[in-house]
Amino acid sequence: MTKLFGITRKTIVAAVLLSAACVFGLLLSSCGAKQNSTDTDEVPLKKPEVEIKADDAYMTEAIEEALVGIYNGHGGPFGCVIVKDGKIVGRGHNMVLKNNDSTAHGEISAIRDAEQALRTYDLSGCVLYTTGEPCPMCLYAILWANIDKVYYGCTIEDNASIGFRDEEFDDLAGGRDSMKDFLTCIDRDACLKLFETYNNLEHSIY
Ligand SMILES: [Zn+2]
Which is nearest to 97 in space by CA: 119, 123, 69?
69
> In the Cβ-directed half-sphere of 51, how many Cα atoms lie within 13 Å?
1
Question: Which of 29-33, 131-135, 161-165, 187-191 is least confident?
Answer: 29-33
CA-CA distance, 118 to 3, in Å (whole number)? 63
> In the Cβ-directed half-sphere of 68, how many Cα atoms lie within 13 Å?
15
Which is nearest to 206 in space by CA: 67, 79, 76, 63?
76
Q: Output the pLDDT for position 165.
A: 80
pLDDT, averaged across the chain = 82
- Whole-number Å distance, alpha carbon 50 to ligand 1 midpoint, is 24
- Whole-number Å distance, alpha carbon 120 to ligand 1 midpoint, is 21
| Residue 185, CA distances (Å) to 105, 156, 196 in order | 19, 11, 18
On the question of pLDDT at 23 being above 50, the answer is: no
On the question of pLDDT at 24 being above 70, the answer is: no
Q: Output the pLDDT for position 99.
A: 96
CA dihedral 62, 67, 68, 74 (to 10 degrees): 100
- Whole-number Å distance, alpha carbon 28 to ligand 1 midpoint, is 42
Positions marked active-site: 107
- Whole-number Å distance, alpha carbon 5 to ligand 1 midpoint, is 72
Rounded percentage of the chain residues whose pLDDT exceeds 90:
60
- Whole-number Å distance, alpha carbon 157 to ligand 1 midpoint, is 14
Residues in the chain: 206
Tell me the pLDDT tens digit for each residue of 168-205: 777 766 677 788 889 999 999 999 999 999 999 977 76
Which is nearest to 106 in space by CA: 157, 141, 55?
141
On the question of pLDDT at 18 being above 90, the answer is: no
CA-CA distance, 151 to 187, in Å (whole number)? 9
This prediction has a pTM of: 0.76
On the question of pLDDT at 113 being above 90, the answer is: yes
Higher pLDDT, 154 or 35: 154
